[in-house]
Amino acid sequence: MSTAEPSVLRQVAAEDRRLRILQALEWSNGYTSNASLLKELLKTVGHVTSTHVLAADLAWLEDVELIRLTKQEAFSVVKLTAAGLDVVQDARLLPGVARPDPEDSPFRR
């Protein structure tokens, strides 16, 4: 196994986690959720994620303006932006987020 393989696996996992976060927000009431709920939803699609990793993913998504992150007293509120909706609906491609598969959205109503 080359040393590049683990970094490639980490990158693919990060891209998929970010997509799954956007998909969860797309299907949430008001395109809004909290970080704790998103962490639990990620578990249901195979991403057992630490609070630190989730915070880093949310910060990255906010930096590229796909979400808005608002800190409340004990939790963070996460809201999908119009740009984030474009990415999750495959109307815009963005390096760092996996491209959605039209047949595979685990959070469909």
Residue 80, helix vs strand vs coil: strand
| Whole-number pLDDT of residue 75 | 87
Count CA atoms closer than 13 A to 56's CA, side-chain side.
9
| Whole-number pLDDT of residue 12 | 95
Q: Domains along the chain?
A: 4-88 (1.10.10.10)
Q: What is the pLDDT along the chain (109 residues), one digit of tens a residue?
A: 455 568 999 999 999 999 999 999 999 999 999 999 999 999 999 999 999 999 999 999 999 999 999 998 888 999 999 999 999 999 999 999 999 987 776 665 4
